[in-house]
Amino acid sequence: MSEKPSGMTAYEDARWEAIQKWRSTNRRTFGERLPSAVQDRGRQVADKAVEVWDRIPGNDALESALATAIKGGFDMALDITESTINERKIVERVTNGLPVEAAGYDDLRCLELAVLDERAPKNARKRAAVAAGHGAAAGFVAGGATAAGAASGGMGALPAAGIVALTILADTAAVSVGSMQAAAYVGAHYGYDPTQPAERAMMISLLGGTLASDAAKVQALRQVRQLALDLAARRTVQDLSEGVLYRMMLKLYGALMINTAKRSIAKGVPVVGAGVGATVNYRTVRRTIVAADHAYPERWLMEKYESVPAGSIDIEVVEAAVDAALGEENREILDRLDDLDDGDSFGT
């Protein structure tokens, strides 16, 4: 639980308490809150996922294709997020009817929290359905590209099971598109620019909080959240460039996507392209939106009252947490992301 800022107004105090109550009830992962019988079934599914995945012969073509799919999904999520959130429209929506002038996101953060809460988007179900549409489109594009590559012989060296794994991974990436776009849309209404590196890290931490299934990933995402707060507070983070941050977030994203794809395979989810993007995405996006509804006003309060922990986070701590979250079983695939490095960084 975050340290409570001092000097808050009555409204802010009540909002803070509500956020912390939500956070305390959601601190355990979703799986930990399920009945033991359901948890046992979940472990059986996880074991089956590993078994099915291990049947896919490892080879250079498959590992390279999986790495390419991960990077493509990550970049797609960032690009769609940026292209579907318009700063001018957000500012107009938040300030409509108010006796204030605002030119951009920075001005929105100067408004009262009660105003921002009132103008923030409501109805998580409706927003999840809209965001799931983005995911369905992404699933269609990614799945279609995979099928086209296989048909043209570009992945002729892959076993049939590898094609299935790659297609499901492409569809799984659709989850991230809807989730990150939805989280960023909430954040924009509180004055946080989704194109900035700190916000990209925030989006990954919110997405991961929904998809993470083990302690290592949860710990990594907590470190990423703190890194985002440090960056937002414009603290110096030693030896961290946008390129380093991009590659670190890409690998964490890849670990989340592979684990999610494994669970889909174990459950026998059919490869239906856009269908996976729409149905799986809805539940995931809705949970991510609820997390964003709490995370951004909490962050707004922490920044207003300067309650972000003093000093900057050690980047080596974050990198170590992310490295632990990758898992040895997928190390070779995720390490291949470095081979795809073409100088990418956030905002390029």
Say which residues have a Cβ less than 8 Å from residue 154's Cβ, sequence separation at least 6: none
Q: Are 70 and 337 in contact (CB under 8 A)?
A: yes
pLDDT of the residue at 282: 72
Confidence of residue 347 (pLDDT cuts 50, 70, 90): low
Q: What value does the CA radius of gyration of the chain take, rounded to a whole number of Å?
A: 20
d(CA 322, CA 141): 29
Question: Percentage of residues in the chain with pLDDT exceeding 90?
Answer: 20
Q: Over 80: is that where the pLDDT of 307 sits?
A: no
Alpha carbon of residue 224 to chain centroid: 11
- Who wins on pLDDT, 227 or 305? 305
d(CA 75, CA 254): 12
Confidence of residue 36 (pLDDT cuts 50, 70, 90): low
Q: How far is CA 330 from CA 210, 219, 229, in A?
A: 20, 18, 29
d(CA 159, CA 172): 20
| pLDDT, mean of residues 298-305 | 90
Neighbour count for residue 297 (Cβ, 10 Å): 22
d(CA 214, CA 210): 11
- Who wins on pLDDT, 81 or 178? 81
- Please choose, from the candidates 121, 164, 143, the residue with its C-alpha nearest in 3D space to the C-alpha of residue 264: 164
Consecutive H or E run containing 80: helix 60-84
Residue 208 — φ and ψ, nearest 5°?
A: -65, -35
d(CA 68, CA 122): 36
Confidence of residue 233 (pLDDT cuts 50, 70, 90): low
Q: Which residue has the tokens 């991009």?
A: 246
pTM equals 0.78
Return the DSSP state at 102. -
